[in-house]
Amino acid sequence: MSFDTLAVVGLALLGVAATGAVVRVGIASSLADRVIALDLLVVIAVMAIAIESARDDTTAFLDDLMVVALLGFVATTAVARFIERRGAR
Amino acid sequence: MTELVAGGLVVVGSALTVISAIGLYRFRDVFARVHAAGKAAPLGAALVFAGAALQFGELAVAARFALVLGLLSLTFPVGVHMVVRAAYRSGTELAPDVTVDELSDARRRRDEG
Amino acid sequence: MRRDLTLGAWLVVVWMVLWRDLSWANLLSGIAVAVAAIVLFPRARPLRPGSIRPLAAARFVIGFLWGLAVANAVVAWEVLTPRNRDNEGIIEIPVIDGYSDTLLALLTVVIGLTPGTVVVDHDEAAGRLYVHVLHLNDRERVRRDLVELEARLLDAFGGRERVGDAAGGAGS
């Protein structure tokens, strides 16, 4: 059992989670629902980058991690403000 | 051995994330759903980062993961709160069988008083 | 002023860590960026230096992390088991004295990270916080637990933020 095998298992699980989140975006009943699923998707993306970086033993993408996480937060907040102004539909 | 622990952390963190994704479907209204999505995400990320940092084995890398985790832990709940607040203020309904809503009671009192 | 300097120092440190290169160019550009950030965002005030009591803060963080692990496990279990035992509701809690804006933000984050609770709204005028709770079986107990959380957080991180607090905490 090497890290590589376990990492692939982890990535597969994240893939399942991501699929769930994406489907949620599709069948969501309101904008709030969608943005929550998308926020989860952002975190999943960050985790996937981290796992893949560890697998390939490269530190090149660690900066991207931070940017993606921050952008995810900014996007969520922006949509939240939008919902407050224009309703959740 | 380190590899095993690192890999284990990654798998557990990913599994937690799958659970939180399931939570998106299981709960009946927006407010309950954020509990599922919003709590497990930073924790799952913490485990995955711990596993990845362990696999790298370098302090500098671990420090950067710690920084991202700190950032995520501080910003994610704020985002969740803002969405919840926006949803409530724009009139999203709680699940039909919810009996306790002191916020709407307070609002009604304010509007009447 | 001291607050700004501390914040500025931290910003420069983070800046240099991000660039991973301790050069003079990074130091100067870091200072420039830090100054710009502080000037452009005057409402983002950090906690006053000296408000964080290390021992209480460490205790709080450890207790919090432990509670976090346990509660997340509970929520995970509940998501997986089929029976619908939810019992949610929104309750109102008072914000105890001495809470500054920054500390309130920290409280929102802590409540947000704790499984089962999330802050919905805040009535500034009345000083009340509205929290959505996933398992509201005993309303008063949850209320008390949350107020106790407020007190512990204030104790750990809000030391000097309290208005009119003498050393040792004589009543105000």
Boundaries of every domain in chain A = 3-86
- Is the CB of A45 inside 8 Å of chain B's CB atoms? no
Residue C167 is predicted with a pLDDT of: 43
Give B53→chain C minimum CA distance, Å: 17
* Residue C46 pLDDT class (50, 70, 90 cuts): low
- Is the CB of B61 inside 8 Å of chain A's CB atoms? yes
The rounded distance, in Å, linking the Cα atoms of C103 and B113 is 30
- Is the CB of B23 inside 8 Å of chain A's CB atoms? no
- Do residues C137 and C119 lie in contact, with contact meaning Cβ atoms separated by under 8 Å? no
C139 SS3 class? helix
Residue of B nearest to A25 (CA): B24
Residue B27 is predicted with a pLDDT of: 78
Average confidence (pLDDT) over C128-154: 84
Give B73→chain A minimum CA distance, Å: 10
Total residue length of chain B: 113
Give the tens place of pLDDT for each residue, C93-106.
888 877 877 788 88
Run of H or E residues at B104: helix B102-112
Round to the nearest angstrom and report the end-to-end CA distance of chain C.
27
Q: Which of residues 10-69 of C touch B (CB under 8 A)?
A: 14, 17, 20, 68-69
Give the tens place of pLDDT for each residue, B38-86.
877 888 899 999 999 888 888 888 888 888 888 888 888 899 999 888 8
The rounded distance, in Å, linking the Cα atoms of A68 and A73 is 9
Residue C45 is predicted with a pLDDT of: 67
The rounded distance, in Å, linking the Cα atoms of C17 and B10 is 26
Give the tens place of pLDDT for each residue, C47-97.
665 566 777 778 888 888 887 787 777 777 777 776 666 677 888 888 887
- Do residues C87 and B29 lie in contact, with contact meaning Cβ atoms separated by under 8 Å? no
* Residue A49 pLDDT class (50, 70, 90 cuts): very high
Residue A51 is predicted with a pLDDT of: 92
| Position B13, amino acid | G
Max mean pLDDT range (A1-5, B46-50, C163-167): B46-50
Run of H or E residues at B81: helix B59-89
Average confidence (pLDDT) over C125-148: 84
- List chain B residues with CB under 8 Å of A33: 24, 30, 33
The CATH classification number of C54-171 equals 3.30.70
Tokens of C91: 């309750």
Question: Ramachandran region of residue C93, left (φ > 0), alpha (ψ -120 to 50) or beta?
Answer: beta
* Closest partner CB to B48 (pick from A51, A77, A88): A51
Tokens of C61: 């963080």
Q: Which of residues 8-37 of A touch B (CB under 8 A)?
A: 9-11, 13-14, 16-18, 20-21, 24, 30, 32-33, 35-37
The rounded distance, in Å, linking the Cα atoms of B73 and B84 is 17
Identify the CATH number of the domain in which residue B9 sits.
Answer: 1.10.287
* Closest partner CB to C76 (pick from B19, B31, B81): B19
* Residue A20 in this model has a pLDDT that exceeds 70: yes
Q: Which of residues 81-100 of B touch A (CB under 8 A)?
A: 82-87, 89-92
* Residue C164 pLDDT class (50, 70, 90 cuts): very low
Considering the domain A3-86, what is its CATH architecture? Orthogonal Bundle (1.10)
Tokens of A61: 């993408």
Count CB atoms within 10 A of the CB of residue C15: 18
Residue B97 is predicted with a pLDDT of: 65
The rounded distance, in Å, linking the Cα atoms of B6 and B16 is 16
The domain of B56 spans 2-112
Residue B33 is predicted with a pLDDT of: 83
* Closest partner CB to B40 (pick from C72, C112, C126): C72
Give the tens place of pLDDT for each residue, B5-45.
888 889 999 998 998 888 888 777 778 888 878 877 888 89
The rounded distance, in Å, linking the Cα atoms of C150 and B68 is 26
Domain extents in chain C: 2-40, 54-171
Residue A88 is predicted with a pLDDT of: 61
Provide the β-strand partners of residue B101.
Answer: C90
The rounded distance, in Å, linking the Cα atoms of A36 and B32 is 12
Residue C44 is predicted with a pLDDT of: 67
* Residue A15 in this model has a pLDDT that exceeds 90: yes
* Closest partner CB to B35 (pick from C90, C128, C134): C134
* Residue A44 in this model has a pLDDT that exceeds 90: yes
Give the tens place of pLDDT for each residue, C25-45.
888 888 898 888 888 877 666
Nearest Cα residue to C112 out of C134, C128, C89: C134
Average confidence (pLDDT) over C165-169: 41
Residue B75 is predicted with a pLDDT of: 87
Residue A19 is predicted with a pLDDT of: 92
Q: Which chains touch A (3 or more CB pairs under 8 A)?
A: B
Least confident of B19-33, B93-107, C12-26: B93-107
- Is the CB of C134 inside 8 Å of chain B's CB atoms? yes
Residue C85 is predicted with a pLDDT of: 61
Give the tens place of pLDDT for each residue, C115-128.
788 888 888 888 88
Round to the nearest angstrom and report the end-to-end CA distance of chain B.
66
Confirm whether the ipTM is greater than 0.90: no
Give A18→chain B minimum CA distance, Å: 8
- Candidates B12, B27, B43, B73: best to mutate against C (most CBs of C within 10 A) is B43
Count CB atoms within 10 A of the CB of residue C156: 22
Provide the β-strand partners of residue C132.
Answer: C90, C118
- List chain C residues with CB under 8 Å of B104: 90
